[in-house]
Structure 1
Amino acid sequence: MVIDTFAQDKARPGEDPIRTLRFGVNYTPRHGWFHSWYDFDPGRAREDLAQIAGLGLDHVRVFHLWPLLQPNRTHIRTSAVDQLAHLVDLAGEAGLDVLVDGVQGHLSSFDFYPEWTRSWHHRNVFTDPDAITAQADLLRTLGRALAGRPHLIGLQLGNELNNLVEHNPVTPAEVDHYLDTLLAAARAGLGPHGLVTHSAYDAAWYGDDHPFTPEASARKGDLTTVHPWVFTGDCARRYGPRSPQVHHLAEYGTELAKAYATDPERPVWVQETGAPEPHIPAADAPDFARATVRNATECEGLWGVTWWCSHDVDRSLADFPELEYTLGLFDAAGRPKPIAEALAEAVAEPHIVQPRDTALVLECTPSTRSVSGPGGEYFEAWMRMRERGVRPAVVLAERAEDEGYLAARGIKSVVLPGL
């Protein structure tokens, strides 16, 4: 695990820099959303990043668009790569560290494919050997361009790549090959310093027979990323926007991810969470932000929390789902919203890890994975324990009698759902 650049300059004297919590935001440009890459304006980016840094956040996650970076299978545009590197440098000037996502891929309900993967040239991006080679080339190129920048956190394969499975059928074994190949390419380009990661939306954890598996998320790459969204499984509507199920969702996602890891000390990053209307009404968003941060930061091994997202999508842009227009900490005019103030307050508070010496046993198969998602029997059993004041860990059934493993996680007792 390569983690030597987590937060060296953020740690206070005597602290382990690896354990210093990180708080950031997924950067969505205020002017033009991600279409702004077509006419990248460093001045506007500098303004956006200064606003983000002003909230006391320490990092951003940034996204370029795959078709602009690699319009032909064997051609990577140097100017587009230079734009991305420039944005990383601008963030550094603002005092922000940066994680770069490479293959976009999927963003806010839109999929961005280069033309060489579509229509007459259709290639399955997960299984076609030439398509995999091309993506690996792109990640190596990005890694080389970004390596050595002092504010770089690392390189991620792309944003929620499993959103692309609907148009690119794939098996779990093929996903494993795809991820292993791309992670190796990213590491080869980036070199020994910085994180190499991948991300998936919640179907990887809760979706029955989804080809991206919890094991892949929790065991591949340098840490585990989770994207616990309140609309998954209709969580907020099912339980209510102020419910414990909603306020503890990121905490639960962190603990669930830890259960699937083979390394008991593997860090977990709450890399996306946010307050989408109407699932979380604007009046409830500040309390949701405070509760999400406070509850998640009680988890041992949490790398940090990265909010989605920095700026609202301007309503002059058409065809976004309604919830996408209101997810920002800043509105489309650049004004901070009440949720921005609440998040800044929560980030500035002391954060104390709480022990979890009781674990709830999870037993499921790939075809019954939904028991662990909102509405599922296991999810609801865990939340009932949490409402009673217990902070349950999650342990897989096959590890429930492994004394060495349990001891390594600080677990002293295990209980079955329903008992």
Structure 2
Amino acid sequence: MIDTFAQDKSRTRAGPRSDLAEPEEDPIPTLRFGVNYTPRHGWFHAWHDFDPARTREDLAQIAGLGLDHVRVFHLWPLLQPNRTLIRSAAVDQLARLVGLAAEAGLDVLVDGVQGHLSSFDFYPEWTRSWHHRNVFTDPDAIGAQADLLRTLGRALAGRPNLIGLQLGNELNNLIEHNPATPTEVDHYLDTLLAAAREGLGADGGLVTHSAYDAAWYGDDHPFTPQASARKGDVTTVHPWVFSGGCASLYGPRSPQVLHLAEYGTELAKAYAEDPSRPVWIQETGAPEPHIPAADAPHFARETILNASGCADLWGVTWWCSHDVDRSLADFPELEYTLGLFDAAGRPKPIAEAVAATIAELRAGPLSVEPRDTALVLDCTPSTRSVSGPGGAYFEEWMRLRQQGVRPAVVLAERAEDESYLATRGIKELIRVP
């Protein structure tokens, strides 16, 4: 069995890796560790017949790993089956889950519009067929989503274990069937973030949004790095090893794979206007066959330890809690084995690795690793892929990292801003050859 670690809200982040140079002391008060909750029985279809007893069992297993929070997802068609109908029973289910998490000692981030989950898209019927509305540009569709987020915020506001409300899971996965320009996407995000904040109230918790990696290194993708790094209260990153073919290009035990979450965090910091804006590694996981099962514990440990050396890291939220049961059809193969627990609820070796790494980090001294050297990123929206796996910038950053440098990322337009560089503690700039 895996021991339960204390759920101490004053928990602190740990110090440097023993194999790296000793940094100066720079304490950060909290580093959070959690998991994206996938119900063991029925996957997210469990919302059709929500079972509190089964949910309680799942959450107890999660808490037993020493994790302190979960990210949870209801399904958009069940919450809002008609543009002007938000089902109170579905909202109550979500509120009940937040309460059950509190009983288990877990905090909760709620994603509002799903949207996209594990290769499936969930659209309400009022957005489809001859009712089709572009969910990013149609004023009525945007208004309906804003109404949903206000309603969820009001239903959840005031709960002490609520971290906050996120617009939805990787909404940019829907862009292929709902084309939009960057300006239209910005309007969409601004409108929904304002609605979520209105629902929660000024002190109701974090309000944020998420996107998959195309937002960071997809050429001309309409969800931009600037939107991810400047809208909402924190920046969320989802550094998956299959994005850009990272694991297939470099190998599952390569430095490029083991430092990918660290790199994604530093890349996100470069696009922020506030140098101290928090970054949340909100999804990372060990998808087979990109990460073979035998390598998953090592991958998890190294990913968490390397990322923990980043300043202003909010936390790491693993994907996901439980494997998808193989009685469910038509998932991509990698989706069936991403859990910390198998479909029978048994902890896998990766769960042991995650729990042990978290315990080690919480036991360590208060410090972060300084990054006084930065690699300058010079790209346009049409050349953003240079910063992704296989790109010249990505490969130079990883080369420096393998040499023992801990590079920060600085955008070319900030490279001459001495005040900005000083605020970030950057003393040396390197440019890609």
* Global fold match (TM > 0.5): yes
Is 2:233 aligned against 1:222? yes
Deviation at 1:120, TM superposition (A): 1.1
* CA 1:50–1:195: 2 relative to 1, 3 Å: same
Partner Cα separation in structure 1 for residue 283 and residue 125 of structure 2: 28
Contact 2:12 2:29 in 1 (8 A): no
Report the residue type matching 2:107 in the other structure. Answer: D
SS of residue in 1 equivalent to 2:413: helix
Is 2:321 aligned against 1:310? yes
Is 2:371 aligned against 1:356? yes
Aligned residues between the structures:
411
Deviation at 1:216, TM superposition (A): 0.1
Deviation at 1:348, TM superposition (A): 1.0
Is 2:210 aligned against 1:211? no
- In structure 1, the residue matched to 2:3 is none
* Structure-2-length-normalised TM-score: 0.93
Partner Cα separation in structure 1 for residue 101 and residue 112 of structure 2: 17
Which segments of structure 1 move beyond 6 Å, counting only runs of 4 or more?
A: 13-18
Contact 1:71 1:114 in 2 (8 A): yes
Partner Cα separation in structure 2 for residue 110 and residue 217 of structure 1: 23
- In structure 2, the residue matched to 1:257 is 268
Partner Cα separation in structure 2 for residue 208 and residue 341 of structure 1: 38
Is 2:429 aligned against 1:414? yes
What do the CA deviations read for 1:4-33 (whole angstroms, capped 9, x no partner)? xxxx96115999997300000000000000
- 1:60-71 counterparts in 2 under 5 A? 60-71=70-81
Partner Cα separation in structure 1 for residue 224 and residue 12 of structure 2: 39
Is 2:397 aligned against 1:402? no
Deviation at 1:417, TM superposition (A): 1.2
- In structure 2, the residue matched to 1:242 is 253
Is 2:119 aligned against 1:89? no
- In structure 1, the residue matched to 2:18 is none
SS of residue in 2 equivalent to 1:157: strand
Among 374, 381, 384, the residue aligned to 1:366: 381
Among 110, 126, 134, the residue aligned to 2:136: 126
SS of residue in 1 equivalent to 2:233: coil
* CA 1:17–1:33: 2 relative to 1, 3 Å: farther
Contact 1:159 1:200 in 2 (8 A): yes
Contact 1:311 1:330 in 2 (8 A): yes
- In structure 1, the residue matched to 2:19 is none
Contact 1:312 1:329 in 2 (8 A): yes
Partner Cα separation in structure 1 for residue 307 and residue 150 of structure 2: 33
- 1:146-295 counterparts in 2 under 5 A? 146-193=156-203, 194-295=205-306
Partner Cα separation in structure 2 for residue 295 and residue 265 of structure 1: 19
Partner Cα separation in structure 2 for residue 272 and residue 348 of structure 1: 20
Among 384, 404, 428, the residue aligned to 1:389: 404
Contact 1:287 1:342 in 2 (8 A): yes
SS of residue in 1 equivalent to 2:175: helix
Among 104, 112, 115, the residue aligned to 1:102: 112
| Higher relative contact order, chain-length normalized (CA < 8 Å, sep 6+) | 2
Report the residue type matching 1:274 in the other structure. Answer: G
- In structure 2, the residue matched to 1:331 is 342
Contact 2:27 2:368 in 1 (8 A): no
What do the CA deviations read for 1:113-161 (whole angstroms, capped 9, x no partner)? 0000000100000000000000000000000000000000000000000
Deviation at 1:349, TM superposition (A): 1.3
SS of residue in 1 equivalent to 2:368: coil
Is 2:9 aligned against 1:10? yes
* Structure-1-length-normalised TM-score: 0.96
What do the CA deviations read for 1:36-84 (whole angstroms, capped 9, x no partner)? 0000000000000000000000000000000000000000000000000
What do the CA deviations read for 1:248-304 (whole angstroms, capped 9, x no partner)? 000000000000000001000000000000000000000000000000000000000
User: How much is the aligned-residue C-alpha RMSD, in angstroms?
Assistant: 1.5
Listed as ranges, the gaps of 5+ residues in structure 1 are 1-7
* CA 1:12–1:70: 2 relative to 1, 3 Å: closer
* CA 1:84–1:14: 2 relative to 1, 3 Å: closer
Partner Cα separation in structure 1 for residue 106 and residue 119 of structure 2: 27
Report the residue type matching 2:415 in the other structure. Answer: A
Partner Cα separation in structure 2 for residue 311 and residue 172 of structure 1: 35
Partner Cα separation in structure 2 for residue 35 and residue 14 of structure 1: 36
Contact 2:28 2:312 in 1 (8 A): no
Contact 1:10 1:17 in 2 (8 A): no
Contact 1:11 1:17 in 2 (8 A): no
Among 311, 336, 340, the residue aligned to 2:351: 340
Partner Cα separation in structure 1 for residue 266 and residue 346 of structure 2: 35
SS of residue in 2 equivalent to 1:153: strand
Partner Cα separation in structure 2 for residue 142 and residue 13 of structure 1: 31
- In structure 1, the residue matched to 2:51 is 41
SS of residue in 2 equivalent to 1:102: strand
Q: Identity over the aligned pairs, expressed in percent?
A: 85
